[in-house]
Amino acid sequence: MEKGFLSILLHAHLPYVRHPEHERFLEERWFYEALTEAYIPLLKTLEGLSADGIDFRITLSMTPTLLSMMSDELLQSRYEKHLEQLIELASREAERTRSDASFGPLASKYLEIFKASRDFFCGTHRRDLTGAFKALWDSGRLEIITSAATHAYLPLSEIHPEAIRAQLRAAVLTHERILGRKPRGIWLPECGYFPGLDDLLKEEGLKFFVLDRHGILFGRPRPKYGIFAPVVCCSGVAAFGRDMESSKSVWSAEEGYPGDPDYREFYRDIGYDLDREYLRPFLNGDGSRLNTGIKYFRVTQRGPHKEPYSFERAAERAATHAGNFIFNRCKQVEFLEGLMGGQKPLIVSPYDAELFGHWWFEGPQWLGQVFRKLRSDQSVLKAVTLTEYLEDHPRNQTLEPAASSWGYKGYSEVWLNGSNDWIYRHLHKAAERMIGSARIHPAAEGLQKRALNQMARELLLLEASDWAFIMKTGTHTAYAVRRTREHLERFTKLWLEVGKNSIDRESLERIEFTDNIFPDIDYRVYSNQTTDKGE
Amino acid sequence: MKRRVIKRTRSKRVSKASPRKKVSKKKPSLGKVVSSPVRAFDFPAVYGEDRLALVARDPWWLYAYWEITPKTERQAILFLASQKASGLKKVLRIYRKDGPAFDVEVGNFTDNWYVEVGLPDRVWYSELGLRDARGRFHRLIRSNRVRTPRYGISDEIDPDWRMPDVRWDKLLEISGAFAASKSSFDLAKEVST
């Protein structure tokens, strides 16, 4: 009989980076790289476990932006071309390194991986990756939950509950349209929560969410089991707390598994190592260097010296680390069970899905090994999805969680600081205008209705937390500012036209073509009135 | 409670007139056709309204941004002049529900401010206004209300969900509530010794 439960949660998100107006667009590569390096390997791992009869349990949050891009025909077709290019580059690499005993086999392996990805994407699943995720959800081993429509950081929209409601409604609609079922739970973007948000979640039929540890621990009254059992808000919506100990073993740059010397070195990509002329057909139009996904070295040690990577050695390490993870979790639940007076603890371990495969190349293998070892090597720990846990343990303590996030310092500073605070007056103003327009036009038809719906799409895209986050990190700031400006511009133009009842059809069609996300949106979601909870 | 404020420089967002470019004395080439640049959309410097918004950044800090129309400000100044008010300063007055208010002088060259209130789990609102040399405050605009996040372990205990203190302290420690958490290994060792 198990002594505790483990719930591994992967959060899968990318901002909406679809650019139909350009044949090649740098930021669109974020999506293609994520498919090749994270989502296809994740699907292969989970399908492999299923095929072997391993009864795994994972909760996966898929943001509506990611789901929308995965099911978009233009991006699917472009991804196929991207894969062909990767295969071409890997073929040239296999040829170039043919007589090199260290790198030749590595290049051949990459060629094999990319060809297998193409077969998986184009052949096995006929470009329909969301269908593959849906099939796993249907099997009961994977649970897919949602997130806010464009991953908006909700605490900074508290001033406009209608804007939050629209983020949630569009999320639930998109989930149901693409995956065939409503989500039971939500991954709040960045775990951003404030008391009262759960009422809005309840309105949309969502049953649970996840908080960083202090969101639960600082709850009122005091949570009896700390973060090792869910709590229930007065609204009836449940909140789970994130476990730090298991997070750290995977996240931490110092102590975490991904820094092992045998694992692949992320920062040594041939896109930066090889001659620019040789690479030119595979680089950006302007010839600037980029990550190709072909990396020949292992972490080795700190400093510039790196040794060639070995797929076999890395796979062995992933298996060892999976065993270590299980061993530590078993010790953790045994200790906690004693402390909790016989109550079986639940360990919730959330990770960014892109960590597995993209940043930590061996991550998907590690994940697969965790579930293989869970079945064969122990009986202390049982893996569950979050819904499964709630169904089996319906009685939980009621309390009000504390406002919190999982960002740096635990609150809103990452999304509200000197680098990005200037956007909020525009976001809030646009939300206010959207709410006003929705109230003035409660039953718009025809072109006006289309314009109002497009305004809603532009506002949702404007609210993506990614733009504020990128401004803070300073890595692609120009792009984040550009996206903020473009969505505000399109929104404002439409708002003016709706106000004058003079819609420019051609221009509206152009905007609809460019930002085609959320086809089933209904702008009237913004006209629901709620009371100001701060009063 | 000591309060500090951090003075903010004017936001980058606020549009400024482009610096005057040096005029080249070279004659433009007649052989080239130069298309006139299309004026791109820029973030509005103002929305032409009176607005003061307040958000909580964390348990100790609020962020305020505002816009006051020249008309509102002019009317206030004229009124105060008629009252013989002098030494006017623009201040953000921060109110705490059931607590004292305090002022932050913000000057005329910014439109946003981070205010250290230093108190979690309190409801706040603010007013932007003009304060004269005699301390009289003339409100220009009032903000929304906002609550700073709760911080720390609650003293409130549900009798049906009570845990012995010693155990709860350990649970808290392993949860890593305030700092880097100890592993359950370390704690198991401590418990056994």
CA-to-CA dists, residue A95 to A90, A91, A108, angstroms = 9, 6, 9
Q: Which of A52, A50, A115 is nearest to A84 (CA)?
A: A115
A157–chain B Cβ distance below 8 A for any pair: no
Interhelix angle B165-175/B184-192, nearest 10 degrees: 150
Mean pLDDT of chain B: 79
- Inside any domain, residue A104: no
> How far is B133 from chain A, CA to nearest CA, in Å?
32
Judging contacts by C-beta atoms under 8 Å, the chain A residues touching residue B13 are 422
Closest CB from B43, B123, B153 relative to A485: B43
Q: Same structural domain for residues A325 and A202?
A: yes
A342 contacts chain B (CB < 8 A)? no
> Cβ(A214)–Cβ(A194) under 8 Å?
no
Q: Does the residue A373 lie in any domain?
A: yes
User: Which CATH number do you get for residue A189?
Assistant: 3.20.110.10
A197: Cβ–Cβ under 8 A, 6 or more apart, which residues? Answer: A154, A155, A158, A164, A188
Q: Which residues, in sequence order, are bridge partners of residue A12?
A: A62
Give the angle subtended at the CA of A486 by the CAs of A483 and A491, to the nearest 5°. 125
Q: Residue A365 domain-assigned?
A: yes
Are A434 and A387 members of one domain? no
Q: Return d(Cα A216, Cα A233) in angstroms, integer.
A: 11
Q: Is residue A303 part of a domain?
A: no
Q: Which of A373, A389, A408 corresponds to the end of one domain?
A: A408
A362 with A234, same domain: the answer is yes
Please check whether residues A394 and A449 belong to one and the same domain. Answer: no
- Lay out the sheet containing B51-56: strands in order across: B5-6, B112-116, B61-67, B51-56
Nearest to A221 among B58, B156, B174 (CB): B156
Q: Which of A352, A387, A408 is the last residue of a domain?
A: A408
Domain match, A340 and A474 both: no
Minimal Cα distance from B178: which residue of A?
A214
Buried b (16+ CB within 10 A) or exposed e, A125-135: bebebbebbbb
Within a domain: A474: yes
Other CB atoms within 10 A of residue B175 CB: 24
Q: Which of A273-282, A422-431, B29-38, B170-179 has the lowest mean pLDDT?
A: B29-38
Distances (CA, A) of A353 to A24, A39, A58, A519, B183: 25, 8, 11, 26, 24
Give the domain range for residue A445.
418-527
Flag whether A26 is in a domain. no
The whole-number pLDDT of residue A479 equals 95
Q: Are the C-beta atoms of A87 and A118 separated by less than 8 Å?
A: yes
Residue for token digits 């085609």?
A516
Query: Between vectors from CA A479 to CA B21 and to CA A350, what angle results, nearest 5°?
Result: 150
Q: Which of the residues A254, A422, A426, A492 would you substitute to probe the B interface, choosing the one with the greatest number of B C-beta atoms within 10 Å?
A: A422
Mean model confidence pLDDT for chain A: 95
pLDDT, position B178: 61
pLDDT at B22 over 80: no
Q: What is the average pLDDT across A266-272?
A: 95
Q: Quick: pLDDT tens for A388-414.
A: 999 999 999 999 999 999 999 999 999
Domains of chain B by start residue, with CATH? 46-152 (2.60.40.10), 159-192 (no CATH)
A355, A467: one domain: no
pLDDT tens digits, one per residue of A21-50 = 888 888 999 999 999 999 999 999 999 999
Question: Which of A220, A341, A489 comes nearest B154 by C-beta?
Answer: A220
Q: Which amino acid is at A200?
A: L
- Is pLDDT at B26 greater than 80 in this prediction? no
Alpha-carbon distance B185 to B166, whole Å? 18
| Per-residue pLDDT tens over the stretch B80-106 | 999 998 999 999 999 999 889 999 999
**Same-domain status, A479 and A404:** no
A437/A404 same-domain check: no
Instruction: Look up the pTM and report it.
Output: 0.91
For chain A, what is the domain count? 2
Query: Are the Cβ atoms of B149 and A404 closer than 8 angstroms?
Result: yes
A503 and A452 part of one domain: yes
- Give per-residue pLDDT as tens, A306-332: 999 999 999 999 999 999 999 999 999
Does residue A508 belong to any structural domain of this protein? yes
In a domain, A282, yes or no: no
Q: What is the 3-state secondary structure (H, E, C) of A15-49?
A: CCCCCCCCCCCCCHHHHHHHHHHHHHHHHHHHHHH
Judgement on whether residues A372 and A448 belong to the same structural domain of the protein: no
CATH number at residue A506: 1.20.1430.10
Q: Are A214 and B148 within 8 A, CB to CB?
A: no
Q: Which of A388, A408, A428 lies at the terminal end of a domain, its last residue? A: A408
φ and ψ of A43, to 5 deg: -60, -40
CA–CA dist B115, A312 (Å, integer):
55
The C-alpha atoms of residue B174 and residue A332 are separated, in whole angstroms, by: 9
The ipTM is 0.94
Let me know whether A192 and A251 are in one domain: yes
Cβ separation of B161 and A492 shorter than 8 Å?
A: no
Residues in chain B with CB shorter than 8 Å from the CB of A534 are 123, 144-147
Residues A181 and A159 occupy one common structural domain: yes
pLDDT tens for each residue of B140-187: 999 999 999 999 999 999 999 999 989 999 999 888 766 544 444 454
> Which residues, in sequence order, are CB contacts of A24 under 8 Å at separation 6+?
A284, A285
The torsion defined by the Cα of A420, B3, B149 and B112, in degrees rounded to 10, comes to -30
Q: How close is the nearest chain A Cα to the Cα of B12, in Å?
A: 8
